[in-house]
Each structure stands twice: as C-alpha cells, then as structure tokens.
Structure 1
Amino acid sequence: MTDSHVLPLTAFATQLRLQQVDLTERWMKAVFHDAELTESDRLTYEQLADHIPNILDEICSVLENQDLDHVESAIERDARLHGKLRWKQGYRIDELVRELDLFRQMLTGAIVEFSEARPYFTRRHEERARHFIDEAVSFVTLTSIREVVNERDRKIDDYTGRLERANHELTLKQRLVGDLYESRMQITRSVVHDLRNFLNVFSMALQLISRAPSKVETALALANRQAADMKTLVDELVEYSVVLGDDSPLVLETFALRELFDELVISCESAIEAKGLRLLTAFDGALDVVVSNRLKLKQVALNLLTNAAKYTKAGQVELSMTAAEDDRWRLRVSDTGVGIGASDRERVFKEFERAADDDVPGAGLGLAIVKELCRVLEGEIRFDSQEGEGTIFEISFPMRLQAVDG
C-alpha cells in the first residue's frame, strides 16, 4: 500500500521514523554549528543525542494519533530526563531553549520536504502537522526547563543547607571559644583568689610567730591547714586538666564491681570517720562483673564521696551499688550535708561552682569532673537535694560499655 492510501499525517510520521537517524544527525550538525550553543562543543555524539531519538519517536505517535494526550506521559518522562542531563552538562536555560528550537526548525523543514514530494499532502495537512509538532516541542521545552529549574533549586537548597550547617558549626565553635575564654578567666580568678588567701594566711602565721613566739604551734597549724587546702585546689585543677585533655581511646576491661566497691570503702572510710561522720554501705549481691573503665569509675565515685564528706558536718555519707533495669547498674552516693538550693541546681555541674560555705577547700571542680567522666562512660546522672537536709546522687552505667570506633 502506497503512502497516498493512508492518512497523510500517519504517512508523514512513518517517513520521520524512517529518517530518524538522518534527522537526528541533521539536528546535531545544526547544534554544533550554532554560535549561541557553546556547551555542545564539549559533548560526545551520545551525550548530545541524549533522548532526542525517543522524543522524535513520541512526536511521530502524536502525529499518528493526532493527539498529544495519548503519549504525554512518555514525552514528559524523556523531556525531564533531557532537562536533567542538560543541567548536569552545564547548559544554561537559554541554550536548552535554543537547541530545542533548532529541533523544531528541523522538523518543520521535514514537513516542507515531505509535502513538496507528495501532492496529496495539502496545506491543511502541513498546518496540522506543524500544529502537533509545535505543541509537542513546546511541551518538551517547558518540561525540560521546569526540570532544569528544579535541579537548580535542589542545588541551591543543598548549598543553602551546607551554608546553614557551616554557619551553625561556626557559631558553635565561636561559642566554644567564648566558653573556653570564660573558663580560662574563671580559673585565673579562682586560682588568684585562693593564692591570695594562701599568702595572706601565711603572712598572718609569720607575723604571729614574730610577735608571739609562744604561739608558734598555733601559727604552724594555721599554715599547715592552708597548705593542705592549697594542695587540694592544685590536685583538683590537675585532675580536671587530665580529664579534659585525655583524647586517647577508652580502655575497656572486665572486672568485678564488688572489688571496686570494697576498694572505695577502704579508701574513704577513715577520712569520713575522721570528720565524725558515719559511712553506710550497701552492695547488691546480684551484681557481678561489668565491662567498663575501672579507673574512671573509681574517679567518679571518689569525687562524689569526697564532695559528700566536704559538705557534711554531721550525720552520714552513704555509698551503694545496685542492679538497674535495661542491663545497667546504679551508683548511689548520699549525704546529710548542706544540700543544694533550688536556684543552684542548674549550675551544680559547672566549673568552679561551690556551695556558699567558703570554709570548704577546693576549686569547685569535683562535679564538673564527674560530669565529663560520665559522658565518656555513658553514665546517666540524676540528683535530688534539699537545702539543709542533704543530697543524693545516682548514676546508672551500662553493664557492658561498648567501644567507640575512631
């Protein structure tokens, strides 16, 4: 059957399919020689051709059915892929529009060639063919542009997100620098204050010796007490600096909690009883071995016990270890000391914070050390306190602490 016996637009679509390779190469030649399309010079044959053969085939279907809706979804899919690829290849929107306009011109030229060789293909058929080609290419152009804009917006959102994250990190680092500066100033003020007191007391002791030789023992006792307090201050500062500066991998070991508990009791019992206080102890027999860092756990417990003894003038200090839920165990240290006021609870773990009792030696770093060690050991801290009645600290630790990579 000759093409004159079929629908004219169907015959034209069949001819386009037969000439698909030739038409694609003709369009590519026009693109390569167009002065406005600079990005095309950097593309290979396959990169430039992209989805154009598929789109050409879908335009043939439009001509055959004389309806864009019939293949709209397929054209939209290929047009989106075309737009996304051109975006990745560095095309500007005006270049994308220009190359698709050349595609339109090439198809319009094919209409003229077809009609000149086939008298049955009338002017009305030409106009119909041109209408469907314009409609299809316009749809391809619009969809491709929309995809380019979407890709650009996604890129902008990505850059914006990165910028916001960078700004957030910068803000955090600036805040950290500010906190470090304030911490340095705080430690300077604290040390200077205690050094001044230390020197003042030593000066008083020397004056007392020079003016009243009979009170040498009193003066020496005063100087010795101040020296002991100063040693406590320096020991806390050294311990805190070691804790903060320890960036080595956490060493985990398996050990019996009962042994650590007995060691803590032996370490603290005499000092607590020397203040006239009672040390109450309780150990849960259900506890066996744990996997953690024994030395750091001991540091936590000793700091809590030392703090409890410091701020308790009468009564008792209690130490207990018990099993807890979710495969954890609990360390509990309580006292009948001065307690912590409601207004002081938020700052209790901050550096250089001490109770109002100036007679208590130290730099106020004990609980700051506990907080940092608990962060490393995955300890969860809870405390309750009543001013004038005492304080309870409870920390739950995992039975098997997992090593952290890196």
Structure 2
Amino acid sequence: MTDSHVPPLAAFAAHLRSQQVDLTERWMKAVFHDADLTESDRLTYEQLADHIPNILDEICSVLENQDLDHAGAAIERDARLHGKLRWKQGYRIDELVRELDLFRQMLTGAIVEYSEVRPSFTRRHEERARHFIDEAVSFVTLTSIREVVSERDRKIDDYTGQLERANHELTLKQRLVGELHESRMQITRSVVHDLRNFLNVFSMALQLMSRAPSKTETALALANRQAADMKTLVDELVEYAVVLGDTSPLALERFTLRDLFDELAISCESAIEAKGLRLQTSFDIALTEVVSNRLKLKQVALNLLTNAAKYTRVGQIELTMTAVENDCWRLRVSDTGVGIGASDRERVFKEFERATDDDIPGAGLGLAIVKELCRVLEGQIRFDSQEGEGTIFEITFPMRLQGD
C-alpha cells in the first residue's frame, strides 16, 4: 500500500514510531535542561525514560484509530506505573506535571515539523493530531497524578497507623509505669508497716524479758511467732518478684497429674492438720499425662491451699483434680473459711489484698501470684464464695500446652 492510501493521521503515527528513539532523547534532553526539574538530575537514562516510550507507542495507536478508548487501558496502566515510579523517585506533583507538559510540547513540535514537509497534511489534520495528543497526554497526566496522590495517601495512612500504634503503646507503657510505681509504693508501705509491727512486738518481747524474767518463755514465744510471720512476708515478696521477673520461655514437660496430686497432698496435709483442719482429696482416674510446666502448676496449687488454710479456722480444705471437656482438666481448692464478701470480689487478685478483719501473716500476694502463673499456663480462673461459709477456686488448664 502506498502513502497516498494511508490516512494522514495513521501516516503521522507511523512517522512518530520511526522517530521514537530520537523523540524520546529529545524529550529527555528538555527535561535535563529544565531548571524546575531538579529531581531528574539524579536519574539514569533508563530511570528517566521509564514508560514514556510505551506511552508514545500507545499515543500512536490513538492517532491511527482516532479514538482514545482504543488504547485507553494500556495508557492508563503505563501512566499509573509512571506516576508510582516518579513518587518513589521523589518527584513533586508540579515536577511530574512539568515533565509531561514537556512531553506534550515535544509531540506538538513533531506535528509542526511533519506538516512542513508533508503538504498533504493540512491544518485540519494538524488540529486533529493535536487534539488526540492533548487528550492522551492530559489523560496520562491526570492518571499519573492520581497515582502519586494515592501513593502519598497510602504513605500518610501508614505513618498515621504507626503513630497511632506508637501512641497506644506509649499510653500503655505510661499506664504500666504508673501501675508499677504504685505497686512499688504499695510494697514499700506494706513492708514498712509490717516491719514496724515486727519491731514493736519484738521490742515488747525484749522489755517483757528484762522487766519480768519469769515471763521469758512467753516473751520468746511471742518473738518467735513474729519472726515466723516476717519470714512468711519475705517469702511471699521473693516469690512474687521471681514470678514477675521470669521472662524466659516456658519450659514444657510431660508428666502424670497423679504424681503431682499425691505430692501436693503429702506436702500440705501436716500443716493443715496442725491447725485442726481436715484435708479432703479426690482425683479423677481418667486423668493421665499432661504437657505443661509442673513446677508452676505446683506453685499455683500450693498458693491456693496455703491461702485456704490461712483463712479457715474450723472445718476442712478440699483438693480435687478432674477431667473436663475440650481436652482440659480442672484444679479445685475449696475451704470452709471466712469467705469473701461481695464488695471484695473485684480486688481478691490484686497485690497486697488481705482480709482486713483477721491477723493473717503475709503480704497478701498469694492470689496475685496465682493470677500471673495462670496467665502463663493458659489457665481460666473461676471462684465462688459466701462470706462466713467458705470459698471455692476452680482453674481449668489445657491438657497440652503449646510451646512458642
């Protein structure tokens, strides 16, 4: 087919394709020499050219078909890629607009050059070519800008999310620091209070021995009791400090619950009976092996049993282990002690909470230790209590803990 049978705009498109390399280099030269485009100086030839050759080829398709929709999808794809890359390269929106305007000017200049050597390419053809080029470049510019704005918004959203998370973490840390400070102050107040009481009673015992030698035995008994109470206080403080400070991975082992149950019964029976109480035990024979941390489970049970014995004057302490559904087992410790009033149920697991009407030794950390250990062992705590009638604690543990 001769040139005379080729539509004028299609012939012009073929000319642009044949000059693609020269036109691209001409455009890049204009970009490099533009004083307003500072970011382009840092780019290599390939980085600057980017998708412009592809876009130029797609504009040629528009001219051939005299329809922007014919290559619209391809132009939109490459324009988006161009905008995203320019965003990553640090371009501002005004710089992106400027370089694409230089691209339009370069194509407009190509129209003038082509018409000067092609008399058959009339003014009407020039206007049509300019119309499609302007329409296509405007579409490229708008699409690229939208992509830049979209990338910027995503980045802002990311930064906003990071700031919100950082602010949330900071708030939590501030709250934890505040709670830690209050906890430490509570420790100080509690220890100072108990130490003062200990020293007062100990001083009274010494005065009793000096003023009434015949009552030395009574004074020594008083001093020994107070020393034992202080040992209980210190032991609880040390145990709680160890529990809170243990950040090592949970060590899991396979063991039989029956062995743990028998060990607990033997270790607690004498102390419970020494108070004139009975220890009732019940073990579900359906329970076999578990995978957990044996020492921490023992620590939970001992704290519950010790706490029950502290607050029970008459009656019994009951220890049971039973199998429950969903591959779990339950530890149950009940007593016939003083019980917990309705107004006190919210604070039973808090640090340094003790029955205010009873002279009970210790720092009031037993149930706080139980709560922290159950968090580590994935235990679910439930308790029921009636003031003056006793308390029941039930903790449901998984048969098999999963390691980290």
Q: Does the alignment reach a TM-score above 0.5?
A: yes
Matched, 1:231 2:231: yes
Q: After TM superposition, give the deviation of residue 3 of structure 1 in Å.
A: 2.6
Q: After TM superposition, give the deviation of residue 126 of structure 1 in Å.
A: 0.8
> Counterparts of 1:278 and 1:249 in 2: how far apart (Å)?
38
Q: After TM superposition, give the deviation of residue 194 of structure 1 in Å.
A: 0.6
Aligned to 1:401, the other structure's residue is in SS state coil
> Counterparts of 2:325 and 2:341 in 1: how far apart (Å)?
30
Which residue number in structure 2 is paired with residue 42 of structure 1?
Answer: 42
Which residue number in structure 2 is paired with residue 3 of structure 1?
Answer: 3
Deviation track 1:141-165 (CA, whole Å, cap 9, x = no partner) reads: 0110111011111111111111111
Instruction: Please tell me the residue identity of whatever aligns with 1:12.
Output: F
TM-score with structure 2 length normalisation?
Answer: 0.96
Matched, 1:70 2:97: no
Q: After TM superposition, give the deviation of residue 368 of structure 1 in Å.
A: 1.0
Matched, 1:125 2:125: yes
Instruction: Please tell me the residue identity of whatever aligns with 1:109.
Output: G
> Counterparts of 1:401 and 1:113 in 2: how far apart (Å)?
80
Deviation track 1:179-234 (CA, whole Å, cap 9, x = no partner) reads: 11111110000001111111111222233333433333332222222111111111
Which residue number in structure 1 is paired with residue 97 of structure 2?
Answer: 97
> Counterparts of 1:211 and 1:239 in 2: how far apart (Å)?
39
> Counterparts of 1:178 and 1:233 in 2: how far apart (Å)?
24
Matched, 1:349 2:340: no
**Alignment size in residue pairs:** 404
CA contact (8 A) 1:59 1:136 kept: yes
**Aligned ranges 1:1-400 → 2 under 5 Å:** 1-400=1-400
TM-score with structure 1 length normalisation?
Answer: 0.96
Aligned to 1:295, the other structure's residue is in SS state helix
> Counterparts of 2:162 and 2:361 in 1: how far apart (Å)?
48
Aligned to 2:71, the other structure's residue is in SS state helix
Instruction: Please tell me the residue identity of whatever aligns with 1:371.
Output: K
Moved over 6 A (4+): none
CA contact (8 A) 1:51 1:82 kept: yes
Instruction: Please tell me the residue identity of whatever aligns with 2:168.
Output: H
CA contact (8 A) 1:278 1:317 kept: yes
CA contact (8 A) 1:4 1:120 kept: no
CA contact (8 A) 1:3 1:11 kept: yes
Deviation track 1:7-28 (CA, whole Å, cap 9, x = no partner) reads: 2112111211222222112111
Q: Which runs of 5+ in 1 are unaligned?
A: none
> Counterparts of 1:210 and 1:20 in 2: how far apart (Å)?
113
Q: After TM superposition, give the deviation of residue 266 of structure 1 in Å.
A: 0.7
Q: After TM superposition, give the deviation of residue 36 of structure 1 in Å.
A: 1.5
Instruction: Please tell me the residue identity of whatever aligns with 1:330.
Output: R
Instruction: Please tell me the residue identity of whatever aligns with 1:218.
Output: T
Q: After TM superposition, give the deviation of residue 75 of structure 1 in Å.
A: 1.2
Q: After TM superposition, give the deviation of residue 86 of structure 1 in Å.
A: 0.5
> Counterparts of 1:3 and 1:160 in 2: how far apart (Å)?
60
Aligned to 1:224, the other structure's residue is in SS state helix
Aligned to 2:385, the other structure's residue is in SS state strand
CA contact (8 A) 1:9 1:63 kept: yes
